[in-house]
Chain A
Amino acid sequence: MFNYQFDWAIITSGQYFEWLVSGLKITIQLSTVSIALSFILGLLIAVMRMSNVAPVRWFAHSYLEFFRNTPLLVQIFFWYFGSYQVLPESVNEWMYEHNFEFVSAVIALTIYTSAFIAEDIRSGVRSIPKEQMEAARSSGFSYLRSMQYIILPQAVRITIPPLINQFLNLAKNSSLAMTIGVAELTYQARQVESYTFKGFEAFTAATLVYLAISLVITALVTLYSKKILNPIGMR
């Protein structure tokens, strides 16, 4: 290490630079698609978790506990290797036509993240006074409609900072997709390392990019909490 020749030029321009940039693009694509889908799924699970119908509530509860308490990597392997056994044939064909690795990673990341988002949304909903629900119900809204028009719009507003944090977690978790061959940032850093033996430079570049992503996201959360949630600076 101490007689190691640093060569920063290889990662700041040329072919290897392009590899890293394409890796970053895939990381961003993977995280954005998965956060959008897992928000929708998480919202659904959160509403089911608070339902008055016991079996629906139990299902949502088991879903949450199961996917939060198993490693993401195992879930990725399950969907990647096992999808042909558990998903309908038509879905599998569609996956084979549309970048199988990427889609499996999106499925795993979406299901894993939705379990965390559902809990965030639920704590958002719990912070809304229960009189809001009572008022909505007594003015004739059904349970689902009161959720849709009265409770969730208020709850989601409070839930945005934890949601942005989930996006950050997702961006970091998406690095696991390299294990099934999705060419995201970590995968490309590894690739550059094995082609050039310049592991130090390649991983420094990838680390700095991840740090930049988390700095931007953390700044967004701080800004949102200061400006939108608490515009007059109450403590």
Chain B
Amino acid sequence: MEGFQVIWDNIAHFMIGRYPSGPLGGLALTFMLALISCILSFFGGLIMGLLCISNNRVIRYPTLAVVNAIRGIPLLMVIFWMYFLLPAIMKRPTPESWTVIAALTIFTSAYMSQIVQAGIEGIPRGQTEAGLSTGLPAWKAMVYIVLPQGLRNMIPSFVNQFVSLIKDTSLAFIVGVSELTHVATQVNNRTMIYPAEIFAFISIIYFILCFAFTSLSRWIEEKLAWRKAI
């Protein structure tokens, strides 16, 4: 039971890090990292997804190659790449949290672009054709006709991707960003004898957060299926 006492004594640390007196950390930082990366990679995924279905081969093939290359390597690799490249590109030291956000955004954009492609392909061709035959240019037919319908069907997959992002933020530990997993290793290093309690506790926190969003995505999916049925 003493293990739980240790967790209770450090609960503020787990939740917000050293926030009022120091930088934000813990669960709050985990959520922030996931949210920022999710918003950025939504736009990244949208652009990459649209480029992947472009009629122009000079655009399509290189984008497909990049997307598949990113999907073929571990996230940890992307984080290390950003860790080296970002300071070199920016020509000054970059904060570790930027490194992680950049890596998560690039990595997740590749997966989001697949969702976008599938979502657009799920809209009947007749919709695009009808748009074109009413005189819209191709990009307007995409933006005003296909995307609004496609994006709605993509919502459950986007939420699932957000759940993956929450789990993936734990890798920020490797470059020393003090999110939830990093805080847990710190508390574990300090107390030494309660690792099982500490890591079980943060697993449960991650589980509650992720399961809430997984359930949300299932609920939305059911709603959408019902709307399609009538």
Q: Report A's interface with B, CB cutoff 8 A.
A: 1, 65-66, 69-75, 77-78, 81-82, 85-86, 172-173, 175-176, 178-179, 186, 189-190, 199-200, 203, 206-207, 210-211, 213-215, 218
Contact = CB atoms under 8 A, between A and B. Distances in A.
A69 B199 contact: no
A71 B188 contact: no
A155 to B, nearest CB: 23
Interface of B: 69, 71-77, 80-81, 84-85, 88-89, 163, 166-171, 173-174, 181, 184-185, 188, 195-197, 199-200, 202-203, 206-207, 210-211, 214
A19 B211 CA distance: 40
A207 B73 contact: yes
B73 to A, nearest CB: 5
- Most B CB within 10 A of own CB, among A66, A73, A85, A213: A73
A73 B175 CA distance: 14
- Most B CB within 10 A of own CB, among A77, A199, A210: A77
B72 A210 contact: yes
13 contacts: A65-B207, A65-B214, A69-B207, A69-B211, A74-B199, A77-B181, A78-B199, A81-B199, A172-B74, A178-B76, A179-B174, A186-B76, A207-B73
Contact of B80 (A65, A69, A173, A190): A190
Nearest to A69: B210
Given A86-B196, A179-B173, A70 B167 contact: yes
Nearest to B173: A73
Q: Chain A contact residues: over half helix, strand or loop, or mixed?
A: helix
Given A1-B85, A82-B199, A203-B80, 6 more contacts: A1-B89, A86-B196, A173-B74, A175-B74, A176-B76, A206-B77
Contacts of B77: 175, 186, 203, 206-207, 210
B199 A85 contact: no
Nearest to B192: A81
Contacts of A86: 196
Nearest to B81: A203
Contact of A70 (B74, B85, B88, B207): B207
A65 B215 CA distance: 10
